[in-house]
Amino acid sequence: MSLLTSWLKSPPPDAAVEIGATRVAAAVLGSRGSAFTLLGHAVETLPAGAVAPSIAGHNIVDRGAVTAAVRGVLGRMGTRVARVALVLPDATAKVSLIHFDTVPAKRDDLDQLVRWQVRKSAPFAIDEACVSYTACARSADGGGDFVVVLAKRSVIEEYERACADAGVYAGLVDLTSLSVVNLILGSSSGSAGDWLAVYMRPDDTSIAIVRDGHVIFFRNLPESENDTLADLVHQTTMYYQDRLAGSGFSRVLLGGAGRTPDAVAEARRGLEDRLGARVEPIDPLSVAVPSDRIGASPELLDILAPLTGVLLRTQREAIAV
């Protein structure tokens, strides 16, 4: 399935590039039938403050440094890259789940209805927005649920220009956590039952609940000193049970990186204690096998998860922005 349609329709990309607050990373996948191989990956650290992810403000602060990093990682892919899938920080967009009692039959009418609905919470004028959506579930009485992504057009264009300056075209745009969800759905057991995915970054955490391949809950939360991750997941679980008729998670998955080297390990222990369930690592190497021997360190898994997920999107229509 496709969670969110691309803002730009284009042929499959040659590589994926993620531009984050502290780094730029890239990866290339190869495929034979339904099997995928990681052909190359690279990462470069950005100068402090070069990227300031936000939904409405100026994001690419040091365009030269970001462009140089994009050019640097792509230059280490071992193949010519002209088109890329671009992965952006979650903080650059707002993800919402909305319900309509009646879904218009015409696409143009549905487009207008979605834009009218999300304009109420948009932190900028709706005519400045990129709005992308997909149906998650439809009911027999004509109603439907939709996942909607709202982003400011000028913010997206900042990231696209950094790629253009590096000599590549960003023909597909996605968010970090949604790319990670796509990665999980790309695994053989990814779409069955209800599962909880938690993806950490030093400045924020995204929590998603997926039911039989459809996102039914999503939150992106900035790093807070008041609430622990275990507390946030507990609140999410209570909502899942009370409002979403949840009967238990078939899988609980955790990935990413925190502000300290031990942050993810500590979060895993806290989640297992709170949920009473095994927490699995989000492992992109289980989907895309490396072409050479590389150690599956937590740092590498963090780098590869969104890149592999967005590239799988171009091969399998699972979840996409």
Checking if the pLDDT of 4 tops 70, the result is: no
User: Distance between CA atoms of 204 and 215, rounded to whole angstroms?
Assistant: 20
Domain hosting residue 308, numbered range = 15-91+152-182+286-315
Tell which residue, 80, 59, 320, has the closest CA to residue 179. Answer: 320
Six-digit token pair at 197? 């995915």
Is residue 4 one of the residues assigned to a domain? no
Six-digit token pair at 152? 């400011």
In this structure, are 98 and 246 located in the same domain? no
Q: Residues 9-42: pLDDT tens digits?
A: 456 899 999 999 999 999 999 887 778 889 999 9
In this structure, are 57 and 97 located in the same domain? no
In this structure, are 52 and 178 located in the same domain? yes
Distances (CA, A) of 297 to 71, 91, 165, 257, 302: 25, 26, 32, 11, 9
The most confident of the ranges 5-19, 108-122, 150-164, 261-275 is 150-164
Is residue 157 one of the residues assigned to a domain? yes
Is residue 164 one of the residues assigned to a domain? yes
In this structure, are 105 and 170 located in the same domain? no
Is residue 275 one of the residues assigned to a domain? yes
In this structure, are 235 and 120 located in the same domain? no
More confident residue, 317 or 11: 11
Could you give the number of structural domains in the chain?
3
More confident residue, 133 or 192: 133
Residue 238 sits in a domain of what CATH number?
3.30.420.40
In this structure, are 113 and 141 located in the same domain? yes
In this structure, are 80 and 166 located in the same domain? yes
Q: Mean of the per-residue pLDDT values for the chain? A: 88
**3 state DSSP class of 75:** coil
Cα of first residue to Cα of last residue in the chain, in angstroms, is: 12
In this structure, are 207 and 249 located in the same domain? yes
In this structure, are 122 and 197 located in the same domain? no
In this structure, are 51 and 167 located in the same domain? yes
Is residue 320 one of the residues assigned to a domain? no
Q: Residues 205-229: pLDDT tens digits?
A: 999 999 888 889 999 888 776 677 8
Is residue 9 one of the residues assigned to a domain? no
| pLDDT score of 5 | 42
In this structure, are 214 and 244 located in the same domain? yes
Is residue 126 one of the residues assigned to a domain? yes
